[in-house]
Amino acid sequence: MKKTLNDVQVSDKKVLVRVDFNVPIKDGLITDDNRIKAAVPTIKHLVENGAKVILSSHLSRIKEEADKAKKSLAPVAKRLEKVLGQPVKFVPETRGAVLEKAINEMKPKEIILFENTRFEDVKDGEVVKFESKNNPELGKYWAGLGDIFVNDAFGTAHRAHASNVGIASNIAESCVGFLVQKELEMLAKGVDNPEHPFIAIIGGAKVSDKIGVIDNLLTKADKIIIGGGMAYTFFKAQGHKIGKSLCEEDKVELAKEYLQKANGKIILPVDSANATEFKDVTPVYSGVDLDDDVMGLDIGPKSIELFKETLKGAKTVAWNGPMGVFEFENFKKGTVGVCEAIANLGNAFTLIGGGDSAAAAIQLGFADKFTHISTGGGASLEFMEGKVLPGVEAIQNK
Ligand code: AMP
């Protein structure tokens, strides 16, 4: 068990907090401040307990010097001030005398946010990736600025960067923040120690990113429903014709292997909603053998019924990846159907593993029907794969 905020004494201490303020910014304006709000419980706890709070975050990617002008965290500091109702000092540097002086002059309960950690990825026009390749000097330097490190950025927990792993490995004390703590508890309940029957649902388009999840889930889930673009690689593995549907050829053998290993645990669609182009047109339905000129863009009505039936009585459901191109009005039925089936489960523990499935549930109006929607697409996916998250691993145990 990792240390949490309740395990550390923060009064009068310089507490470095890695948050996830990677918010969408358009023309200098923040278009969605949910990530800022999500960090508030940890920040408030630290302020109320008399800490000197030093916040850091990445914002997007920095690939060249010119990116820096648009990717400053300055507007985030302003928004955080409003959300907290307390001053937040913004330091427009990632290291050096100005930052060090600002920190040394801090009084308890004060808050500093310093500049985008990814500014360290480009120096004098050269791509150096000090932050995102976990440069050891940088992690050590940042760790030297504080007494305690709190990791509350779940979205980057699957990456070993200087601002999470680098700091954690070089500081006397570390713990996870409230947001990361909740994510870990929810993911453990939804994937590692689920109440049975446990049904996993895997869909979406990035087959190579997700196929590893199936391997881990085969050991844990009672049934694995596969839909979305993912399904066609499995159809191909079964020898079906898939027309122009999404397929990752180099994963067909792996799909065959999983189907064999699954011993009936994998539930595939039995029909498909198709179009001749990737367009929002009226679907043409077929079974699982598709004509050469069509592509499957959603599961069909019989599959929706099959999946609803499969989900009946589930006590735990973990879902990652939409059942079809839900962004198209004509191809959202499969994803809506699965959302409805999950919403009707009553007292089951239901989890969405972030990314596009979270976007789908929110867009289709089902967000409040789930027990937990993870804030980290990549991190929750790697957790579902059974991988260790380096950003969490580097934190001290209780
Ligand atoms: P992922 O990031 O892997 O969860 O993929 C999400 C994306 O998969 C969404 O944007 C969907 O539109 C897309 N998707 C789902 N089903 C299909 C399909 N049958 N063909 C192409 N794209 C799909």
> pTM for the whole thing?
0.90
Indicate whether 396 belongs to any domain.
no
- Cα distance between residue 114 and residue 55, in whole Å: 7
Burial class (CB in 10 A: 0-12, 13-18, 19+), 185: exposed
What pLDDT, on the 0 to 100 scale, is given for residue 206?
85
- Cα distance between residue 197 and residue 96, in whole Å: 55
Q: Is 35 annotated as a binding residue?
A: yes
What pLDDT, on the 0 to 100 scale, is given for residue 147?
98
CB of residue 280 inside a 6 A radius of ligand 1: no
| Whether residue 200 sits in one domain with residue 168 | no
Indicate whether 82 belongs to any domain.
yes
Q: Which amino acid is at 119?
A: F
What digits encode the pLDDT tens for the residues 141-196? 999 999 999 999 999 999 999 999 999 999 999 999 999 999 999 999 999 999 99
Q: Is 278 annotated as a binding residue?
A: no
CB of residue 377 inside a 6 A radius of ligand 1: no
Say which residue, 27 or 183, is predicted with more confidence. Answer: 183
What pLDDT, on the 0 to 100 scale, is given for residue 353?
86
Confirm if 268 and 223 have CB atoms less than 8 A apart.
Answer: no
Joined tokens for residue 83: 């959300």
Share of the chain above pLDDT 90, in %: 92
Indicate whether 242 belongs to any domain.
yes
| Whether residue 138 sits in one domain with residue 91 | yes
| Whether residue 243 sits in one domain with residue 285 | yes
Query: Which residue out of 297, 298, 320, 333 has the highest number of ligand 1 atoms within 8 Å of its CB and is therefore the one to mutate?
Result: 297
The range of the structural domain enclosing residue 118 comes to 5-179
- Which residues have a catalytic role annotated? 35, 206, 355, 378
What residues form DSSP beta bridges with 319? Answer: 201, 352
In our burial notation (b when 16+ CB lie closer than 10 A, e otherwise), range 33-46 reads bebbebbebbbebb
User: Is residue 42 predicted with pLDDT exceeding 80?
Assistant: yes
Q: Is 59 annotated as a binding residue?
A: yes
| Whether residue 321 sits in one domain with residue 194 | yes
| Whether residue 167 sits in one domain with residue 152 | yes
| Whether residue 209 sits in one domain with residue 341 | yes
Indicate whether 116 belongs to any domain.
yes
CA of 229 to the centre of ligand 1 (A): 6
| Whether residue 210 sits in one domain with residue 157 | no
| Whether residue 311 sits in one domain with residue 349 | yes
How far is residue 355 from each of residues 29, 83, 104, 349, 359, measured CA to CA in Å?
23, 25, 39, 19, 6
| Whether residue 353 sits in one domain with residue 252 | yes
Domain boundary among 179, 211, 235: 179
Give the closest residue to 160 by CA, choosing from 393, 327, 350.
393
CA of 180 to the centre of ligand 1 (A): 27
CATH at 24:
3.40.50.1260
Q: Is 113 annotated as a binding residue?
A: no
Residue nearest ligand 1's atom 17 by CA:
229
Indicate whether 389 belongs to any domain.
no
CB of residue 51 inside a 6 A radius of ligand 1: no
Q: What is the mean pLDDT of the chain?
A: 96
Indicate whether 395 belongs to any domain.
no
CA of 27 to the centre of ligand 1 (A): 29
| Whether residue 57 sits in one domain with residue 147 | yes
CA of 82 to the centre of ligand 1 (A): 37
Indicate whether 398 belongs to any domain.
no
What pLDDT, on the 0 to 100 scale, is given for residue 359?
86
Domain boundary among 179, 203, 234: 179
Q: Is 210 annotated as a binding residue?
A: yes
What pLDDT, on the 0 to 100 scale, is given for residue 377?
86
Confirm if 21 and 73 have CB atoms less than 8 A apart.
Answer: yes
What pLDDT, on the 0 to 100 scale, is given for residue 28?
85
| Whether residue 172 sits in one domain with residue 191 | no
Q: Which atom of ligand 1 is nearest to the CA of 328?
A: 12
CB of residue 227 inside a 6 A radius of ligand 1: no
Burial class (CB in 10 A: 0-12, 13-18, 19+), 262: middle
Task: Report DSSP state, residue 2.
Answer: B
What digits encode the pLDDT tens for the residues 347-369? 899 999 877 888 889 889 998 99
DSSP string, 198-210: EEEEE-SS-HHHH
User: Is residue 251 predicted with pLDDT exceeding 90?
Assistant: yes
Give the closest residue to 391 by CA, choosing from 192, 187, 176.
176
Query: Which residue out of 201, 213, 226, 356 has the highest number of ligand 1 atoms within 8 Å of its CB and is therefore the one to mutate?
Result: 356
CB of residue 40 inside a 6 A radius of ligand 1: no
CA of 325 to the centre of ligand 1 (A): 5
| Whether residue 209 sits in one domain with residue 146 | no
- Residue 9: alpha-carbon gap to chain centroid: 29
Q: Which helix H or strand E contains 297, and what residues bound it?
A: strand 295-299
Domain boundary among 155, 179, 203: 179
Indicate whether 228 belongs to any domain.
yes
How far is residue 144 from each of residues 104, 185, 305, 391, measured CA to CA in Å?
12, 30, 58, 18
Scan for tokens 């930052």, then name that residue.
Answer: 99
Q: Which atom of ligand 1 is nearest to the CA of 246?
A: 20
Domain count, the chain: 2
Give the closest residue to 222 by CA, choosing from 200, 254, 201.
200
CA of 355 to the centre of ligand 1 (A): 11
Q: Is 58 annotated as a binding residue?
A: yes
